[in-house]
Amino acid sequence: MSIQESHLPRQSPLHAVLAPDSVAVIGASNDPTKRGYKAMLGLVQGGYGGNVYPVNPKADSVLGVSAWPTLEALPQAPALALICTPAATVPGLLDECGRRGVKGAIILASGFGETGPRGAQLEAEMLQRAQVGGVRLIGPNTSGIFNLHHRLNLLALDHLKAGDIGVVSQSGNMLLSLALEAEHHGEVGFSTYVGPGNQSDLGFNDYLRYLGEDPHTRVATLYVEGFRDGRAFLQTAREVSAVKPVVVYKSGSTVQGQQSASSHTGALAGSYGMTVDLLRQAGVNVVQYSDDILPVAEGLGQRQQAPGKRVAVIADGGGQATIAADRLTEAGLLLATLADSTRERLAEVLFPQASTVNPVDVAGSSDAEPSLLATCMAIVADDPGVDSVLLVGMFGGYSQRFAESLTGDEMRGAEAMVELAGATAAPVVVYSLYAAVKPPALRRLRETGVPVHTSIENAVKVLVELSARGDYLAHAASADDQATPGKDRFENRTQPAAPGAEGQALIRHARQQGRDLLEPEAKALLAERGIGVLTERVVSSAEALSEAAGDLADTPVAMKVVSPDILHKSDAGGVALDVVGEAAMSAAYDDIMRSARRYDSNARIDGVLVTPMAPKGVEVIIGLMRDPTFGPVIMFGLGGVLVEVLEDVAFRAVPLSRHDAVTMIEQLKAAKVLDGVRGAAGVDKEALVSLLLEVSTLMEAYPDIAELDLNPVIAYPDGYAVVDARILLHRDSLDTDSFDNDSLHSDSEPEA
Amino acid sequence: MSIQESHLPRQSPLHAVLAPDSVAVIGASNDPTKRGYKAMLGLVQGGYGGNVYPVNPKADSVLGVSAWPTLEALPQAPALALICTPAATVPGLLDECGRRGVKGAIILASGFGETGPRGAQLEAEMLQRAQVGGVRLIGPNTSGIFNLHHRLNLLALDHLKAGDIGVVSQSGNMLLSLALEAEHHGEVGFSTYVGPGNQSDLGFNDYLRYLGEDPHTRVATLYVEGFRDGRAFLQTAREVSAVKPVVVYKSGSTVQGQQSASSHTGALAGSYGMTVDLLRQAGVNVVQYSDDILPVAEGLGQRQQAPGKRVAVIADGGGQATIAADRLTEAGLLLATLADSTRERLAEVLFPQASTVNPVDVAGSSDAEPSLLATCMAIVADDPGVDSVLLVGMFGGYSQRFAESLTGDEMRGAEAMVELAGATAAPVVVYSLYAAVKPPALRRLRETGVPVHTSIENAVKVLVELSARGDYLAHAASADDQATPGKDRFENRTQPAAPGAEGQALIRHARQQGRDLLEPEAKALLAERGIGVLTERVVSSAEALSEAAGDLADTPVAMKVVSPDILHKSDAGGVALDVVGEAAMSAAYDDIMRSARRYDSNARIDGVLVTPMAPKGVEVIIGLMRDPTFGPVIMFGLGGVLVEVLEDVAFRAVPLSRHDAVTMIEQLKAAKVLDGVRGAAGVDKEALVSLLLEVSTLMEAYPDIAELDLNPVIAYPDGYAVVDARILLHRDSLDTDSFDNDSLHSDSEPEA
């Protein structure tokens, strides 16, 4: 994985479609209220250089361009067709496109899958016709596209400036919002925009790959309601994020939002928390608020990354220094500790009442000489303990607020900041009270690629994402370096996991019986792979029990019925905990067998599982599942009721790298518990990392596994113990006649 | 408490100072770089109607106004003196002010308490001189004041519009930021601004009371780094928030931010979470981000409150409908469920593809008739299940994006919205993509008091605060109604709590011995007040132990050493848990006595406390402390290690109302645990409310109590049990010679 290249090698078939040499507008119109007029207006006014073919059987010309009655009649095959006519006409038109050799078609109409079963049927038919004819589809239910470096503006949006931000947005209003914000900003421009609509054929992953390959795009920005193929998207995101930033806003952070999104584009929404985790794992910069999309895209496009989290703040007032310190800290960034020599250099140029502790407050020193702020920024940027520099306050507005004569000095300050930004690895980010006023010094900064923000909150979010991207690239690069023989196999994700003989036999046996794995079988499968499960045995006679009791001496044990017919062991009275000594074990054994038979007199009972009670430690849970959108996913969380209530869990797509495993432990809000609180010793995180890595290979090793839960695992200062394990098999790998539906929902017993 | 009055009766002495009939500017100057020039410029250009007296011994006139050599020489006593000279000159000038009868002085200079001990000494001297002369002080280290309805603009800020937002800001840059934002907005104006600076004399509570009494101010907006007298502020906030909204941004949400704030104004920062809770308890609308200050102030100033949390969203695009649904839900608001009749009325006016489920998406229906959005808003506002209405999308921009001919219809839509806003109790809030463009329809909305926001996030925050204020006023009003004899005494906070005879005796005894209360004493004090503590006894002989064992039969018990000399019982080996039966109890007793004597051979040992082990339940903690800023405060949280890590606790100032007690339980992030999760029964919240109310009276009843901890309390489906209790007494109420420092830091034993 290299980060030297600024774009991926050209492979996408979309270049001919999104940067076409000719465009047909089907349903072109002279009626200004029609979409077929707007599109023609955009092409004509925008100065598109390719051939434009309005198709309208009733018009001789549209906006002065000769019109054609049909596609058939055109003098050449257009690369792209924009279809502005209603849904019902689309399948027939796509037949024509196919016959004529059109490479791609944009379907503006709604009335497809998002409206219900009848629309879905029409959408399926449309897709089938397009595939027969070899036409790639954008939409339906899309706002269209633009490609400003090709002067192709099918939306006829005014005032768009060509730039380096590529946008894919499932909401037309969101694109409009970004465009208006960019216009207001003055210096932000766009490369290509695509509205993916229902993603009937082409989806987010196709468009993202195109933006990854497009030399005009420095940052790909996506507003996503839902992915059609999440796993393919993650793969594309990994490739693209290695060469340029990918910024995603994912809507549907709540159930209410998901319902709204679903009624909008018919998209299936997965768990928001899981989606965010998986996107970040793939190197995506996920922003939480729609207000952050453009500032973060601008900031990442300009500076790509920060080498670390340590931010130096230069302020010309205590209030904003404090706000910056609060926001930076809340966001997980660090206030850099300035070296003594740095503080001395600052003290030399500042008034005595200035604070040279970060956040640096110049306290009036710059009132008569605003360029002093640039001097301070250069001093802190020179400190090896500083990864990025944030200026907050009124820079650019000194000439407005104090005296117009300060304009020259402010311009000198801006030039010095531009020079600094070019010379240092530390990104330089500016917040100014006067950003919206756009005084000359701030215009100069923006023109030369130093971001100037209208809000401290936005500026901090840019710093957060710069440092997140820097961290991602550093680990992606180091994983790359280590992909050599002899290195930890989990750094190199290419080796497939091999199944074990016992595990395969256990799964085969269970499949034959049309059931999932029993708890002891699941634990045996895990144990074969070196995963630490509690020693246990299944006893089915008084003699065996007596022998077990002798071996276990006075150790408290858990006893659980083992039966393929009893899924809810507690409900069946099939569980006894904290049993000590032979007499008590014998009584518990009899109890369990009696209760189980009373619960289901026909149940096959294999015996009773006897396990030592796990000593106290920190409860964690690990799960493995196949997400319908993203495929195999591993989950980690702390156990216990509070975490369940607070939903403090982490997700990663499988396969897992060591860095993935480490960060999924670190990201928990309650991660401190693992480090030991209230005098408790910290747990063995390295053992948990190894456990996560090993568990992550199980679906690959045993493709029959549909779902796995280790709940709880008890973590100790030295190692861990898997206390309960559940492994479910795919329905289609079972004899479904004898398959018990309930097993998909069986609860694990509370224990330990 | 009445909410009919729009301002408090006039009592503050500040009217003469903040709306003065004459102003002296000490240090007035003709040098444009000087503060004494700016202030004169503001007075002269602003058209201030009172008498202006520049004081400068070296000038005949300043900006054309006759200058005076000294205060002494003035023809009248100025109400207000603005002192622009350096710190060292201030005490002498205040002597003159006092002699001359000046009512208030503004001290701009820094160099006082915020700089260290020498500055603090100068500040104390200054304050003393002012008090002798009867001069009230604003500052020092302040940016000054303005009062736009009196055309008094001592900051010489340009483009300020007179309006109804009063501002008190400890940061001059924050005021500047709000002023620039208001200018950019176009329709937001200010009444009075004060920079409180170091609050040497006058503080936030004085200024807030003034704004509460000021008829020109409809909303008081405060940027606070630290309170000088938090308890007084809370009292004032309660009074003011009953008649108009109080919006506070409190800086220092992190330790890093607090350190920065402290170096800025020398303010003492308390726990941020506690401060926010106490402010909200007093009816304050606390905003979390500086970007939210002005939008929330504007929104609250215009509409004051929403009757509830149920929001109806009207959108002209699915994307922003979804974003609105996400943000509203995340913020704790509810998407109103529209009545069938409402949905039918919407369906009658909208295209078939529109979604009439909230968030309503008109899906193109308004493209040719934007005023249809106003029709939809009126339909949903008419639904009794709707408390507020949010419009999101491109309203105002149809004429920009589609056709200029739509301007007329957009203006009709705006008029209809204005009419709706005046006619309905449901606040109407608008977000438009075009807000920053300010098209005529949006200008019309803003002029007539319908807030138009540039961000969905801001619009949602306004709705959150409108509903929070509505909720507060409803409960403040209902508490008022119930302040009648025979009602629950906790609704009526006027009755003082009386001490119990046993509690008084226990405290007197402990004071005589120069120590805090022992655990059994603390529990006895609680039990006397009807608080449920576990039955317990202190045994000090083999016979007593045997008797206890007989009574307790096979109940597992906890045993703990009781000694005024042993504070860390666990460290001394003085604790045994889960002891069952006489033999085990006897062995544990001997162990504890032996260990305790080994730990400290001189320790006085009163015996061993024997308590039944509490059955399992939900652990909670309750604390009572005296905060240095806010006075007596009660704390509630869930027990256990995760909550400690996640800091999920709630605070309220004492005295406590029933509503306070209820909401402090409800506000916990993990509150669901109390409702029962994983099949567990919910706990008896009413019992916890009663416990909180009773505990909240203890400091009033026993003024010797410095701190109290009930940790843990176990909550059950029917009641609760206090398992461990600790009560610390004030140092000055103890014989300090024999007082053990450690007792202030003694840990309670983990238990149960």
Nearest to B673 among A434, A457, A641 (CB): A641
Give the pLDDT band of residue A165 (cuts 50, 70, 90).
Answer: very high
- Final residue of a structural domain among B475, B503, B523: B475
B525 is a domain residue: no
Q: What is the count of structural domains for chain A? A: 4
The model's pLDDT over A117-160, given as tens digits with 9 standing for 90+, comes to 999 999 999 999 999 999 999 999 999 999 999 999 999 888 89
Nearest to B318 among A260, A317, A393 (CB): A260
Do residues A500 and A528 touch, judged by C-beta distance below 8 A? yes
Residue of B nearest to A406 (CA): B33
Q: Which of A250, A172, A179, A240 is nearest to A210 (CA)?
A: A240
A740 is a domain residue: yes
pLDDT of residue B731 exceeding 60: yes
Strand partners, A332: none
- Final residue of a structural domain among A475, A491, A524: A475
**Mean pLDDT of all residues in B3-31:** 89
- Residue A681 sits in a domain whose CATH number is 3.30.470.20
Nearest to A289 among B318, B457, B750 (CB): B457
The model's pLDDT over A172-230, given as tens digits with 9 standing for 90+, comes to 999 999 999 999 888 899 999 999 999 999 999 999 999 999 999 999 999 999 998 99
Q: Quote the pLDDT of residue A739.
A: 40
CB atoms within 10 A of CB B622: 23
Sort out which chain A residues have CB atoms less than 8 A from B640's CB and list them. 642
Residues A261 and A314 grouped into a single domain: no
Residues B660 and B563 grouped into a single domain: no
pLDDT of residue A24 exceeding 90: yes
Residues A376 and A273 grouped into a single domain: no
Residues A603 and A630 grouped into a single domain: no
Q: Which of A45, A40, A49 is nearest to A19 (CA)?
A: A49
Sort out which chain A residues have CB atoms less than 8 A from B253's CB and list them. 326, 330
Q: Quote the pLDDT of residue A681.
A: 84
pLDDT of residue A488 exceeding 60: no
Nearest to A321 among B176, B260, B437 (CB): B260
Residues B287 and B315 grouped into a single domain: no
Do residues B417 and B428 touch, judged by C-beta distance below 8 A? yes
| Helix (H), strand (E) at residue B716 | strand B705-716
| Nearest-angstrom CA–CA distance, A431 and A451 | 8
A142 inside 8 A of chain B by CB: no
- Residue A557 sits in a domain whose CATH number is 3.30.1490.20
The model's pLDDT over B589-638, given as tens digits with 9 standing for 90+, comes to 999 999 999 998 888 898 999 988 888 889 999 999 999 899 999 999 98
Q: Quote the pLDDT of residue A244.
A: 96
Give the pLDDT band of residue A94 (cuts 50, 70, 90).
Answer: very high
Q: Is the peptide bond before B655 cis (omega within 30 degrees of 0)?
A: yes
| Nearest-angstrom CA–CA distance, B682 and A423 | 62
A2 is a domain residue: no
Contact A433 B353 (CB under 8 A): no
A321 inside 8 A of chain B by CB: yes
A402 inside 8 A of chain B by CB: yes
pLDDT of residue A27 exceeding 60: yes
**Mean pLDDT of all residues in A295-318:** 93
The model's pLDDT over B361-378, given as tens digits with 9 standing for 90+, comes to 998 899 999 999 999 999
Contact B177 A433 (CB under 8 A): yes
Sort out which chain B residues have CB atoms less than 8 A from A456's CB and list them. 290-291
Contact A33 B174 (CB under 8 A): no
Contact A642 B673 (CB under 8 A): yes
Nearest to A394 among B173, B357, B673 (CB): B173
A681 inside 8 A of chain B by CB: no
The model's pLDDT over B429-443, given as tens digits with 9 standing for 90+, comes to 999 999 999 999 999
Do residues A682 and A610 touch, judged by C-beta distance below 8 A? no
- Which of A159, A286, A309, A326 would best serve as a mutation to test chain B binding (most B beta carbons within 10 A)? A326
Q: Quote the pLDDT of residue A567.
A: 76
pLDDT of residue B140 exceeding 70: yes
Mean pLDDT estimate for chain A? 90
Q: Quote the pLDDT of residue B75.
A: 95
pLDDT of residue B2 exceeding 80: no
Contact A318 B264 (CB under 8 A): yes
Residues A577 and A653 grouped into a single domain: no
Residues B176 and B266 grouped into a single domain: yes
Q: With a CB-CB cutoff of 8 Å, which residues 255-314 of chain B face chain A?
A: 255-257, 259-261, 263-265, 289-291
**Mean pLDDT of all residues in A389-402:** 94
pLDDT of residue A615 exceeding 50: yes
**Mean pLDDT of all residues in A69-74:** 95
Contact A353 B115 (CB under 8 A): yes
Entry pTM? 0.91
A115 inside 8 A of chain B by CB: yes
Q: Quote the pLDDT of residue A472.
A: 95
CA A121 from chain centre, in angstroms, equals 31
**Mean pLDDT of all residues in B301-319:** 93
Range with lowest mean pLDDT among A351-355, A533-537, B512-516, B683-687: A533-537
Residues B30 and B109 grouped into a single domain: yes
The model's pLDDT over B121-132, given as tens digits with 9 standing for 90+, comes to 999 999 999 999
Q: With a CB-CB cutoff of 8 Å, which residues 170-229 of chain A face chain B?
A: 170-174, 176-177, 180-181, 184, 223, 225
Q: Quote the pLDDT of residue A643.
A: 67
- Residue B203 sits in a domain whose CATH number is 3.40.50.720
Closest Cα in chain A, distance from residue B732 (Å) = 31
CA A166 from chain centre, in angstroms, equals 18
A494 is a domain residue: no
Give the pLDDT band of residue A495 (cuts 50, 70, 90).
Answer: low
Residues A268 and A312 grouped into a single domain: no
Amino acid symbol at B167: V
Residues B107 and B239 grouped into a single domain: yes
Question: Which ranges constitute the DSSP H helices of B437-485?
Answer: 440-447, 456-481
Question: Which ranges constitute the DSSP H helices of A114-171?
Answer: 117-133
Amino acid symbol at B296: V
**Mean pLDDT of all residues in B302-320:** 93
Structural domain boundaries, residue B341? 305-475
B527 is a domain residue: no
Mean pLDDT estimate for chain B? 90
Q: Quote the pLDDT of residue B479.
A: 61
Residue of A nearest to B253 (CA): A326
Sort out which chain B residues have CB atoms less than 8 A from A403's CB and list them. 32-33
Q: Quote the pLDDT of residue A689.
A: 97
Percent with pLDDT over 70 in chain A = 92
The model's pLDDT over B527-580, given as tens digits with 9 standing for 90+, comes to 999 999 887 888 988 888 888 888 887 788 889 999 888 877 888 888 888 888
B351: CB partners within 8 A, 6+ apart:
B362, B363, B364, B365
Sort out which chain B residues have CB atoms less than 8 A from A434's CB and list them. 180
Q: Quote the pLDDT of residue B484.
A: 44
Q: Which of B722, B412, B749 is nearest to B576 (CA)?
A: B749
pLDDT of residue A116 exceeding 90: no
**Mean pLDDT of all residues in A559-580:** 86
Residues A130 and A91 grouped into a single domain: yes
Nearest to A642 among B225, B368, B642 (CB): B642
Range with lowest mean pLDDT among A76-80, A128-132, A475-479, B254-258: A475-479
The model's pLDDT over B163-194, given as tens digits with 9 standing for 90+, comes to 999 999 999 999 999 999 999 888 899 999 99
Give the pLDDT band of residue B494 (cuts 50, 70, 90).
Answer: very low
Residues B315 and B378 grouped into a single domain: yes
A253 inside 8 A of chain B by CB: yes
Give the pLDDT band of residue A669 (cuts 50, 70, 90).
Answer: confident
The model's pLDDT over A252-268, given as tens digits with 9 standing for 90+, comes to 888 888 887 776 655 54
Range with lowest mean pLDDT among A404-418, A627-641, A705-719: A627-641
Six token digits for residue A547: 């022998």
* Rounded (10°) CA dihedral B143, B148, B153, B156: 90
pLDDT of residue B417 exceeding 90: yes
pLDDT of residue A557 exceeding 50: yes
- Final residue of a structural domain among A475, A498, A527: A475
Integer distance in angstroms from the first to the last C-alpha of chain B?
Answer: 45
B506 is a domain residue: no
Give the pLDDT band of residue A535 (cuts 50, 70, 90).
Answer: confident
Residue of A nearest to B183 (CA): A437
Q: Quote the pLDDT of residue A736.
A: 46
Strand partners, A729: A705
Higher pLDDT, B25 or A749: B25
Sort out which chain B residues have CB atoms less than 8 A from A325's CB and list them. 254, 256-257, 259-260
Higher pLDDT, A672 or A376: A376
pLDDT of residue B483 exceeding 70: no
The model's pLDDT over A13-22, given as tens digits with 9 standing for 90+, comes to 999 999 999 9
Strands, sheet with A537-539, edge to edge from the N-terminal-most edge strand: A537-539, A607-612, A557-562, A575-579
Q: Quote the pLDDT of residue A334.
A: 97
Contact A326 B252 (CB under 8 A): yes
* Rounded (10°) CA dihedral B667, B671, B672, B678: 170
Residue of B nearest to A116 (CA): B353
From residue B514, give the alpha-carbon distance in Å to each of B542, B737, B740: 30, 8, 8
B499 is a domain residue: no
Q: Quote the pLDDT of residue B71.
A: 95
Q: With a CB-CB cutoff of 8 Å, which residues 481-540 of chain B face chain A?
A: none
Nearest to B645 among A111, A361, A672 (CB): A672
| Nearest-angstrom CA–CA distance, B639 and B619 | 5
A589: CB partners within 8 A, 6+ apart:
A539, A542, A545, A559, A608
CB atoms within 10 A of CB A482: 15
Sort out which chain B residues have CB atoms less than 8 A from A359's CB and list them. 260
Give the pLDDT band of residue B736 (cuts 50, 70, 90).
Answer: very low
Sort out which chain B residues have CB atoms less than 8 A from A177's CB and list them. 320, 433
**Mean pLDDT of all residues in B663-674:** 91
Q: Quote the pLDDT of residue A7.
A: 87
A602 is a domain residue: yes
Sort out which chain B residues have CB atoms less than 8 A from A750's CB and list them. 678
Q: Quote the pLDDT of residue B696.
A: 95
